[in-house]
Structure 1
Amino acid sequence: MRGLIAFGLLAVAAIAASVWLAEHPGLVVIDWLGWQLSTSVGIAVLALVVLLGLGILLYRIWQAVMGAPGRLSQSAKLRREHRGYEAVTRSFAAVASGDAEEAERWARKAGELLGDQPLARMVMAEAAEAGEDRVRAARHYRALLEAPETRLYALRGLTRLALEAGEQEAAQDFMRQAYDLKPDTPWVLDRLFQLSESSGDFAAAEKALKEARRRRAMTREEAKRKQAVLRQAKAQALAAEGKASEARRAASDALSDEPGLVPALALKARLERDAGDTRRAAATLEKGWARAPHPQLAALYRSLRADEDPLARVKRIEKLTAKHPGHPESEIALAEAYLEAKLFGEARRHLTAAKALGETPSQRGCRLMAEIEEREHADRAAAAEWLRKAEGAEPDATWICRQCGTQADDWSAHCPNCQAFDSLEWRSPRRVARTLPVAAAPAAGGATDAEVEVVEPELVPEPEAPKRAG
């Protein structure tokens, strides 16, 4: 639109100039070196315009000829860069798909085409790491430290390599540099926390958590949960060193953040019991039962008075379970107490209320029923039948890592297999069905094979967290 307006204005100006020249005729005389040239003003103006146009045309031709080598060079450079970026894309795609050899091949190509550009260094570092060539990967990451725009990326890569090599102190040093560079980056704060807590530096870990919360890198609930687990890990470490009073305070701190943290409840109650303060231990367990009924808490509660009369124990267990009535663990705790007191009818009733004997009985429920049959009626056949049912029953709950599926007898802040933080949860192992060929009864057409489904309690690990996450 603007071009059309400009053309219109030029046309109007040209017409106006032509009209003015026609109304004011004149003569132009040029006398030069004995030659004399005379013409009208209009012709002179026209000649001047033509000469000016020819001059501009010749200048453009000269400019095009002189600039041709540069343009050809620039075009070649652009084509080279295009091929280099394509190689970068292919290398990153190969890294993501797990093809280390292909990633390395395209990374070398990118390096040849792009030279020492940071992007080429990045893809070569990623490809080297994918191919487990940590020395070369570290060399590329260190080169990337020089560029401000890739320094944080390089520190993250070097931290990862240091952790894989077991160099905890080096990893912490890289993360401190990353924190100085970008203190509000969520992954930096999270990794600082992980490194500090895994090395046993609980004070530094708590400081990292507070900083993450202050900078809104994690929610308040997430920060409180991590702090509770961290404090419980500290309490366990202190208890292992024989520092009972300090361990008890640390467990109390953990419970202030997460009142239903069963390992903290159990540790605090055990330390109070061992110190002779059974009244306080009972209060701790009763308060904890109201939030999180658990067999470990029930066992500790029974141990507070190991030599008491079975009927007196029933009364105490009734007091405990009244904090969370109707919960399966409450019903099973009552069933165990009534069984010990030889009140077999009540034991059966509470097992039924716990839904431990229904269509999907639990192994614990079946074992208790076997004991009831044995002690009440001395019926070994019935007891054996319940024990047989236990083999195919719902597996008992235990501590299981949600990251790798590893089963642990006791809780800890880290999975004993994959070392994931706060990954152990109390639940029943998943069950899988396996199909086994067996010989079927002979039919009219002869012997055939049949398939029988055998259901066994078995761990089914959940997908493992990406190795290089963070």
Structure 2
Amino acid sequence: MTKYIITFLLFVAILAGALLYIGDDAMLTLSSSGAKWPIAFPDLEMSWQAVIFLGTLLMIGTITLWSLLLWIWRLPRRLKSGVGMRKRNRAIDAMEEALIAGAEGDMDRARKASARVRDLAGSTDLGHIISATAAEACGDQEQAIIHYSAMLDSPKTRPTAQRGLAQAKLAKGDLPGAVEAAREAFDQNVQARWAFDTLFKALVADYRWTEARDVLEKGRAAKHISGVVFNRRRAVLLTAEADYWMDHGQHDKSLELSQAALKDASDFAPAVAIAAYELARTGGQKKAASLLEKAWKTAPHPAISLAYFDLYPGESDATRSKRLERFIASDPEDREARLLMISHDLRSGRPVDALSLLAQILDEEEPTARLCLLAAEAERALGNPTDAGMWTERAATAPHERDWSDLDPEGPGFAYESQDWRRLVFSFGDTGELVHPRAERQDAIRRPTPEAKLEPLRLAAPEDEAAPDGDLARRFDDLMDAQPGDKDAE
């Protein structure tokens, strides 16, 4: 606005200067030599100031008239634009209402607002996107699938529809449908990260290990996943396949797959256990033992030790003790090695030795459920059923060791079901942490002793029973001279 005012004032100044410069004396005379009208007219004489003034008025009038005509010409378009702007604002308000209603879980209001979006915006695709988004926010996957399916026919919205459809079906539990939608998108564009993630999750959820492994390898080639995570995930998938074929009597295939898994993750204890079992089944105890000893040095796990001693059933206590010393020789002070020695002492009828070693561990850390159960077994072996019962009750509320699978010494090291392998693909695959699926599900822990026959523990201790003293070392001094069955043993 300022520039127009300045221009006008400048024009007036120039005009005033011109009029002053010319003055009142200069005259302009117009005459015609024509003999007939209209070109014949009497001489016309006027001052130059009047000529300039009239010319200025004529110019201003012409500009004003042109602007008026141009404004009239553009008026319909402006009216239409104004109506469209109001309609657009109403469509935006309807979109906002639809999304807010979806977030609040009000599906009826979200559906009505989405319908207004389609009418006001004049875009069916936009209406479907808003409707699907609102339905997902409400948790109504059926409605979301309907709207995403309607978007498949448009090339512009097809990729969006494929993504929404795959994810909605996965959330709904329609695994074959999720696989189909995600696979189509992934085949069309291998660089689509969402398609890789959704397809892989759907295949794993549907226990399709081989297909999941193929997709994982394509994802690695497309750089959707790091090398370390890729190796660990593939190790779990290979081990799950090995476990399947072992259960179905295909032992050669099971051995091949479990050994392939160890190439990807040598510290994955379930793969070690399966490979050792398959080797020992055909007389390869030495190879199995070497495999288990190597795995123990890399990542000690109770299942590895059980598998190791299962290779040599019926050994005498002396022979078993020597073998145990060789097995843990790489790091006898390791926590898992000491726990292994405690279990061996309990099985060999040496509860005092077990209690002594257990006291050292309890001096270093708070008692876990696993340590409580070992303490209970030691007290039971010493003839103290009351104290054993209190330790057992304390185990019910003590923190769990997430990598401890509350093993049955008489059973398999890793009694995993398909859903357990599915969990491990991501829990071990993404973090490298071997958390037993039973701990993730917060199932009741089990007593890892033959005598208890894996009975589930009670969830809480009776109110009239007190917890045992956490400092087991103080009680150990009173137990050193006690033997199982002594009357004074407490």
| TM-score (structure 2 length as normaliser) | 0.74
Give 5+ residue unaligned stretches, structure 2. Answer: 406-412, 429-433, 444-458, 468-490
Kept in 2, the 8 Å contact 1:314–1:338? The answer is no
For the structure 1 residues 109 and 26, does the alpha-carbon distance in structure 2 shift closer, same or farther, using more than 3 Å as the test? same
For the structure 1 residues 168 and 114, does the alpha-carbon distance in structure 2 shift closer, same or farther, using more than 3 Å as the test? same
Out of 146, 155, 167, the position equivalent to 1:160 is 167
Counterpart Cα distance in 2 of 1:326 and 1:362: 19
After TM superposition, list the pairs within 5 Å mapping 1:271-420 onto structure 2. 271-355=278-362, 360-375=366-381, 377=382, 379=383, 382-393=384-395, 394=398, 396-397=400-401, 410-411=415-416, 414-415=419-420
After TM superposition, list the pairs within 5 Å mapping 1:90-239 onto structure 2. 90-130=97-137, 136-164=143-171, 167-199=174-206, 201-239=208-246
For the structure 1 residues 309 and 415, does the alpha-carbon distance in structure 2 shift closer, same or farther, using more than 3 Å as the test? closer
Out of 407, 423, 430, the position equivalent to 2:427 is 423
For the structure 1 residues 42 and 97, does the alpha-carbon distance in structure 2 shift closer, same or farther, using more than 3 Å as the test? same
Counterpart Cα distance in 1 of 2:150 and 2:231: 39
Deviation of the 1:215 alpha carbon: 3.1
Query: Relative to structure 2, which stretch is displaced further, 325-334 or 363-372?
Result: 363-372
The residue type paired with residue 85 of structure 1 is I
Q: Partner of 1:29 in structure 2? A: 30
**Which structure exhibits the higher relative contact order, with contacts defined as CA atoms closer than 8 Å and separated by 6 or more residues?**
2
Kept in 2, the 8 Å contact 1:370–1:384? The answer is no
Question: Aligned pair 1:64/2:74, yes or no?
Answer: no
Out of 77, 80, 84, the position equivalent to 1:73 is 80
Kept in 2, the 8 Å contact 1:95–1:103? The answer is yes
Counterpart Cα distance in 1 of 2:19 and 2:404: 96
2:266 aligned counterpart, secondary structure: coil
- The structure whose residues are more often strand, as a share, is 1
Q: Deviation digits for residues 135-165 of structure 1, max 9, x if unmatched?
A: 6533422343344443222111111343356
Query: Relative to structure 2, which stretch is displaced further, 318-327 or 95-104?
Result: 95-104
For the structure 1 residues 232 and 98, does the alpha-carbon distance in structure 2 shift closer, same or farther, using more than 3 Å as the test? farther
* Superposition CA RMSD, Å: 4.0
Query: Relative to structure 2, which stretch is displaced further, 23-32 or 218-227?
Result: 23-32
Counterpart Cα distance in 2 of 1:249 and 1:106: 58
Counterpart Cα distance in 2 of 1:372 and 1:128: 58
After TM superposition, list the pairs within 5 Å mapping 1:2-21 onto structure 2. none
Question: Aligned pair 1:268/2:278, yes or no?
Answer: no
Query: Relative to structure 2, which stretch is displaced further, 127-136 or 73-82?
Result: 127-136
Question: Aligned pair 1:52/2:54, yes or no?
Answer: no
Identity of paired residues, percent?
Answer: 25
The residue type paired with residue 50 of structure 1 is L
| TM-score (structure 1 length as normaliser) | 0.76
For the structure 1 residues 21 and 287, does the alpha-carbon distance in structure 2 shift closer, same or farther, using more than 3 Å as the test? farther
Counterpart Cα distance in 1 of 2:399 and 2:134: 44
Q: Deviation digits for residues 108-146 of structure 1, max 9, x if unmatched?
A: 332332232533321112234455665653342234334
2:426 aligned counterpart, secondary structure: coil
Counterpart Cα distance in 2 of 1:48 and 1:73: 38
The residue type paired with residue 91 of structure 1 is A
Deviation of the 1:348 alpha carbon: 2.3
Aligned length: 429
For the structure 1 residues 47 and 204, does the alpha-carbon distance in structure 2 shift closer, same or farther, using more than 3 Å as the test? farther
Q: Deviation digits for residues 360-379 of structure 1, max 9, x if unmatched?
A: 4344434434444444x5x2
For the structure 1 residues 24 and 196, does the alpha-carbon distance in structure 2 shift closer, same or farther, using more than 3 Å as the test? farther
The residue type paired with residue 27 of structure 1 is L
Counterpart Cα distance in 1 of 2:57 and 2:332: 106
Counterpart Cα distance in 2 of 1:435 and 1:309: 39
Give 5+ residue unaligned stretches, structure 1. Answer: 402-407, 440-451, 455-470
Q: Partner of 2:90 in structure 1? A: 83
1:322 aligned counterpart, secondary structure: coil
Question: Aligned pair 1:248/2:255, yes or no?
Answer: yes
Deviation of the 1:188 alpha carbon: 1.6
For the structure 1 residues 411 and 95, does the alpha-carbon distance in structure 2 shift closer, same or farther, using more than 3 Å as the test? farther
1:423 aligned counterpart, secondary structure: helix
Structure possessing the higher radius of gyration over alpha carbons: 2
